[in-house]
Structure 1
């Protein structure tokens, strides 16, 4: 799988662009950072991250490649701008019912939707995240969802990391399932119906009693090998259960 790394651009230039503290203007036309970034996101959304290059972005904008460098020095800085921009898409409602648990669930579901809109996000390693205004605002919003519930600052950071990591892993399965349908021309139900009769002939319930029982129940319910959305819902509830235990322990202490 093609993987890119955030935070590879020149720090001074990246931060200046992310926070828009300095933007050189072009002599011709209305080409600017925002237009370039939006075009780059469109390329990645449509053709995948591997297709992203300064040349492809310039082609989409109908300009010469060199004109982009007047505004964005390179692909590393461009990728950071793309990441920061899409992270500004997640809603941040002030009132979410259900207390901290309801707020974290809303955050998880909004991030799930963000990954599905921009699947190329799964191909970006962000251990060194872009330190832009949208990423910072998202982090602040997510931390405030669990502010004042008894956790230390480090525990708060770890909880947000846990939830985001869970969503990242879970949504990968959903994306792979969707890609399997597109690339094979078969829906999960069609695939299951084609394989199930043959599996029944070769699967020996006496040899694999638990797998045979559970697999048959799940297959009948899902009409597929798995249900990514249902798995996400179940796993998210268990993650929140674990956080609730931590919160209860801190309050008891």
Structure 2
């Protein structure tokens, strides 16, 4: 049983074992749905979640450095000093630059920009968090056989590095590139039953169940909780006490086993 919660928790439940989460509500959902965390189809997911049309991938503002015969991504988004206000400024500049090549962009948050790629070559690119602080060459080489995306990556680096914003002390953020990722297709039907309070997900997957009234607990089900409702989570924990459960908060992921851990979950 998997539970994805759009919120944070101060500490993992006592007796739980750590899991590798994705640190993000949507990415945790895709992980729980069985998608490869290296290549999550986040663009296709957000296309449905935002009710867009066409084909989309993710563009994430990054800071990277070139070394002798190699390159490395060092920081993304907020780690580059990029808050929402400054990200929107950069977004407007990049949108204007990429419009010359027929791209359209949609702003999601400071680290997530949607890039429309209808008519563009397919891209095979790892999630940005999975390529930080390591050789970038294997990821770049695998991105696109036509070299279209590699050339665009280089062109954007030149545009951003020389942009006046990067020399403005009042606005400067260490952004000198965009990493493209999140391609791939999304299955029409989920591999397991879904229970959720997220009305958009109920639209995406019409067969999903609401949390109210609380349905019977299926050990194979995926629970997706958009609201970090501690009362509901506590009730769910008690109801699912017979099962092994994988929990995914935005800051902690863990596995719990059939035991009386739930009574201590919210104690400080």
Does the alignment reach a TM-score above 0.5?
no
Structure possessing the higher relative contact order (Cα contacts under 8 Å, 6 or more residues apart): 2
Relative to its length, the structure with more helix (as a share) is 1
- Compare CA radii of gyration and give the structure with the larger one: 1
TM interval, shorter chain, is under 0.3
TM-score for both structures, normalised by structure 2: 0.24
